[in-house]
């Protein structure tokens, strides 16, 4: 169950960078998006806290940030038209390999 909490925490990690990106406009701050970002931060941190009860802290943190990094990478391409170069995909692929590797060697 801890791994499920950790994955969901990682999914919430996607929300706060997107909320912050959308929360700043030419016209000023967009408080709804800033609030969304804050909510995602709290939910993500709370679920990470629960997951760390049984998953080692270093493993949990690395997986959590990895899920967040990969997800925001993909969302950046899909939502904000960020570059989708082969080199960027290669290095994000290394993060995915690290996440999967940590899951296999964690023993939990």
pLDDT at 108 over 70: no
Total-model pTM: 0.87
pLDDT at site 25? 92
Instruction: Please tell me the predicted confidence (pLDDT) of residue 13.
Output: 97
- Return the ∠ at Cα 21 (arms to 13 and 58), rounded to 5°: 25
Structural domain boundaries, residue 101: 2-105
**pLDDT beyond 90 at 19:** yes
Mean pLDDT value of segment 16-31: 95
Count of structural domains within the chain:
1
């Amino acid at each position: 169950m801890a791994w499920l909490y950790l994955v969901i925490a990682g999914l919430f990690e996607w929300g706060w960078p997107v909320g912050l990106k959308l929360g700043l406009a030419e016209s000023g701050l967009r408080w709804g998006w800033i609030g969304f970002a804050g909510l995602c931060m709290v939910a993500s941190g709370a679920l990470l806290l629960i997951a760390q009860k049984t998953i080692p802290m270093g493993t949990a943190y690395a997986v959590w940030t990895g899920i967040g990094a990969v997800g925001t990478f993909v969302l950046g391409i899909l939502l904000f038209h960020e570059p989708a170069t082969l080199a960027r995909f290669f290095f994000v692929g290394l993060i995915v390999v690290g996440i999967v590797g940590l899951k296999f060697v964690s023993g939990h």
